[in-house]
Chains A and B, each alone.
Chain A
Amino acid sequence: DAGVTQSPTHLIKTRGQQVTLRCSPKSGHDTVSWYQQALGQGPQFIFQYYEEEERQRGNFPDRFSGHQFPNYSSELNVNALLLGDSALYLCASSLAGQPRPTDTQYFGPGTRLTVL
């Protein structure tokens, strides 16, 4: 049973560029959440996708956008990269409709983004 997978593992970009990160949820899961984890900090919620729609969003600018595909996989796009966007980007999947807290979010290993 494959867990949450993310690609790429590492990525280096320069300021102003755009980046796309990918996530495949755990088998059987239909909901994907994205988090940003800056060095030495805890993860911060970016947004969550369910049924190909953004269900909730954290305090992140519009430069951060996402997409969910019919197979439940998801992409995170960041435009006009800033140095401060350097972080570990974590994807978490869960199954909607389950009573809390059993709709546990399972995390992938993350994508390390470095912006130069």
Chain B
Amino acid sequence: GEDVEQSLFLSVREGDSSVINCTYTDSSSTYLYWYKQEPGAGLQLLTYIFSNMDMKQDQRLTVLLNKKDKHLSLRIADTQTGDSAIYFCAERPDSSASKIIFGSGTRLSIRP
């Protein structure tokens, strides 16, 4: 089946690292994504990772993939107030040419 799960809320102190976790079920998924959604805005693609990779780093963002456990995480270093948003984990099932399966989103809030 196709399902993506993530925790609903995360609160971190400004300047600390944020780690958002996600599990997915479709073992055939080849591409996994992290999207960011701010109030009143559409979804912004933050980063993606191929399933044959373990890690991908892009500036303050680090994505870790454990394919055996179907676990994906997004680490945001030096979290800033501008990082407050909802973060969606998403998978693209290999059997699908088109659709992306999203999790329910993790709301990240930043404490001063």
**Contact in complex: B42, A109 (CB < 8 Å):** yes
- Chain B 85-106 near chain A by CB (<8 Å), digits 1 or 0: 0001010100011111111110
Stretch with Cβ within 8 A of A (4 or more), from B12-20, B43-51, B66-74: B43-51
When C-beta atoms are compared, the residue in chain B nearest to A55 turns out to be: B98
CA of A4 to CA of B44, assembled, Å = 12
CB distance from A101 to the nearest CB of B (A): 4
Bound complex: CA of A48 vs CA of B96, how far in Å?
A: 11
| CB-CB under 8 A for A43 and B43, given A101-B31, A105-B100 | yes
Tell which of B43, B96, B98, B105 has the most Cβ of chain A within 10 Å: B98
Expressed in whole angstroms, the Cα–Cα distance for A105 and B50 within the complex equals 16
B residues near A48, Cβ cutoff 8 Å? 98-99
A90 to B35, CA, bound (A): 14
Distance of A55 from chain B, by nearest CB (Å): 6
Alpha-carbon gap, A56 to B30, bound state (A): 19
A42→B105 contact, CB < 8 A: yes
Question: Could you say which of B48, B97, B103, B104 has the most chain A C-beta atoms within 10 Å of its C-beta?
Answer: B97
Interface residues in B23-76 (C-beta closer than 8 Å to A): 30-31, 33, 35, 40-45, 48, 50
Residue numbers in B under 8 Å from A110 (CB-CB) = 42
Please name all residues of chain A whose beta carbon is closer than 8 Å to the beta carbon of B33 when the two chains form the complex.
101
A44 at the interface (CB under 8 A from B): yes
Residues 5-57 of A at the B interface (beta carbon under 8 Å): 33, 40-45, 48, 55-56
> Chain A contacts of B102 at CB under 8 A?
42-44
Considering the chains assembled together, what is the distance between the CA atoms of A43 and B91 in angstroms? Answer: 12
B98 to chain A, nearest CB (A): 4
Q: A58 vs B42: C-alpha distance in the bound complex, in angstroms?
A: 20
Q: How far is the CB of A90 from chain B (nearest CB, A)?
A: 6
Complex partner residue of A109 from B41, B90, B105, CB under 8 angstroms = B41
- A70-106 residues at the B interface, CB under 8 angstroms: 90, 92, 100-101, 104-106
Could you list 9 A-B pairs, sorted by A, with CB under 8 Å? Answer: A4-B42, A40-B104, A41-B104, A42-B4, A42-B88, A42-B90, A43-B43, A55-B98, A109-B42
